[in-house]
Amino acid sequence: MADKHIVDPHGGKLVNCVREGLTQDPSAVAIRLTERQQCDLEMIAVGAMSPLAGFMGEADYHAVCDSMTLTNGIVFPIPITCAVDDATAGKVSVGQKVALTDDQDRFLGHLTVEEKYKQDKRKQAGKAYGTEDGAHPGVKVLMEEGDTCLAGPIEVAVPRHEPLYTEHRLTPAMTRAEFERRGWKTVVAFQTRNPIHRAHEYLTKCAQEITDGLLIHPLMGATKEGDIPGEVRMKCYMVLIEKYYHPDHTMLSIMPAAMRYAGPREAILHSIYRQNYGCSHFIVGRDHAGVGDYYGTYDAQKIFDELPEGGLKITPLKFEHAAWSKKAGCMVSGKTFPKIEGDQIFLSGTKVREMLKRGERPPAEFTRPEVADILIEAMKQ
């Protein structure tokens, strides 16, 4: 990548579907979007899913499933669709403009329907998620959707009503402008849906050594039951950055995407997002975007080797699992220190949650005490 400018958006151009002053067409059929579809709508509208300017048509849907590209050859790993039930589909004709609303029937924007087609849920599950198991949280959402997809370009009035974290809810155009203001040409993004523990802190700081800046970019859209609430995570991120990161080289912004738990293919999707936000590098760690035991430990890293050359402008930074070594007295990985039985401090997420519920602070080698305090307090409520 040339070092003269911030990385180009995926596909070469940043999409913007937000229309100031847009109001609902009273004659349009209203369609209530699911939580994930609302997240997708916002991500498309602000350009985070560039080059998409709407929900995918049938040819792109199958091309993405089969080859991880759109029909024009641009890399895209997961179908982005507006699926509706049969009753709703029956009210809509190709060529119509439909009004898109949230779960409280508040107007979000319009979709001009260019296609109606049946989605192949079993195919999509097997290709995008690598499993048809209904217990997989992403597959479960897919199977509960309607069977008919409405495809076409969108126009969005406001990305979201009463959005959370407005101070940190920066669009790709905003992050790019801020990187320019700071003089950052190379920026590494860190994806997270959890509080940042010491191993993750270590990865981000390794990445900071080779880039101008770090974008801590937590996913704040739809997640699965049991994940730590967004407001708790934000408190953790903010105190961690304040106490343990350099303010001139660190930035916090949220990403309003839905989590799909699609493992390897979602790692590619997350990279596309961050390229559109202006990042040149992206941290891909152990079991990125995984859930349960559906994916191999480093499958989300290996998939980048399957992409055509030049398919992405962003560079993945592939990290192994890191943990605190008592003998070394620091964070280590399999590349930096030999594995010695009983040496590394490793706690499962379940064990940490049990400790927090009892009001016990996990060891400082695992998490910063300020973060532990916030989590302990949250567990009491």
Q: What is the pLDDT of residue 222?
A: 65
pLDDT surpasses 50 at 376: yes
Shared-domain flag, residues 96 and 171: no
Same-domain status, 239 and 91: no
User: Is 200 part of any domain?
Assistant: yes
User: Model confidence at 164, in pLDDT bands (50, 70, 90)?
Assistant: confident
* Residue 15 domain flag: no
In this structure, what CATH number is given to the domain that contains residue 121?
3.10.400.10
Q: Give yes or no: residues 43 and 72 share one domain.
A: yes
187-192 and 213-218: which strand pairing?
parallel
Counted domains in the chain: 2
Rounded Cα distance between 107 and 204, Å, is 39
Question: Does 133 share its domain with 184?
Answer: no
Q: What is the DSSP string of 88-156?
A: HHTT--TT-EEEEE-TT--EEEEEE--EEEE--HHHHIIIIIS---TTSHHHHHHHHS-SEEEEEEEEE
* Catalytic sites, residue numbers: 193-194
Q: Which tokens belong to 301? A: 């890293």
What average pLDDT does the segment 307-331 reach? 95
In order, the DSSP letters of 285-296 are -TTTT--TTSS-
Supply 12's token pair: 């070469």
**How far is C-alpha 334 from the chain's CA centre?**
27
Higher pLDDT, 378 or 281: 281
**Nearest Cα residue to 137 out of 9, 36, 57, 288:** 36
Same-domain pairing of 330 and 191: yes
- Which of 124, 156, 188 is the C-terminal boundary of a domain? 156
Q: Is residue 341 part of a domain?
A: yes
Cα(9)–Cα(276) distance, rounded to whole angstroms? 5
Q: What is the pLDDT of residue 228?
A: 83
In a domain, 35, yes or no: yes
Q: Are strands 315-318 and 281-284 parallel, antiparallel or unpaired?
A: parallel
Classify residue 9: in a domain, yes or no: no
What band does 4 get if pLDDT is binned at 50, 70 and 90? Answer: low
Mean pLDDT of 352-367: 88
Instruction: Find the CATH number of the domain harbouring 246.
Output: 3.40.50.620
Angle between helices 349-357 and 369-380 (to 10 degrees): 70
One domain for residues 170 and 246:
yes
> DSSP labels for 190-212?
EEESS---HHHHHHHHHHHTTSS
223 pLDDT tier (thresholds 50, 70, 90): low
Over 80: is that where the pLDDT of 381 sits? no
Pair 85, 204 in one domain = no
In a domain, 46, yes or no: yes
Are the C-beta atoms of 82 and 149 separated by less than 8 Å? yes
Alpha helices, DSSP H, located in 225-368: 230-244, 264-276, 299-302, 349-357
CB 254 within 8 A of CB 165: yes
Structure tokens given for 314: 């962003």
Same domain membership, residue 337 and residue 194: yes
At 69 the three-state DSSP class reads strand
Decide if 241 is inside a domain. yes
pLDDT above 60 for 235: yes
**Does the pLDDT of residue 1 top 60, yes or no?**
no
Predicted local distance difference test score (pLDDT) of residue 284: 97
One domain for residues 85 and 131: yes
Task: Answer yes or no: do 82 and 186 share one domain.
Answer: no
DSSP 8-class letter at 304: G
- For residues 170 and 278, is the Cβ–Cβ distance under 8 A? no
User: Does 11 map to a domain?
Assistant: no
Note the pLDDT of residue 226.
Answer: 67
Nearest one of 310, 312, 270 to 290, comparing CA atoms = 270
Residue 143's domain spans which residues? 30-156
- The residue ranking higher by pLDDT, 166 or 341, is 341
Query: Taking 80 as the threshold, does the pLDDT of residue 157 lie above it?
Result: yes
Distance, in Å, from the CA atom of 167 to the CA atom of 184, rounded to the nearest integer, reads 20
Q: Which of 156, 182, 200 is the last residue of a domain?
A: 156
Q: What is the pLDDT of residues 48-82, one digit of tens each?
A: 999 999 999 999 999 999 999 999 999 999 999 99
Maximum CA extent, the chain:
70
Q: What is the mean pLDDT of residues 200-213?
A: 97
3-state SS, residue 43: helix
Considering the entire predicted model, what is its pTM?
0.94
User: Do 34 and 139 share a domain, yes or no?
Assistant: yes
Question: Which of 138, 156, 174 marks a domain boundary?
Answer: 156
In the predicted structure, residue 3 carries a pLDDT above the cut 60: no
- pLDDT at residue 208 greater than cutoff 80: yes
Q: Are residues 64 and 136 in the same domain?
A: yes
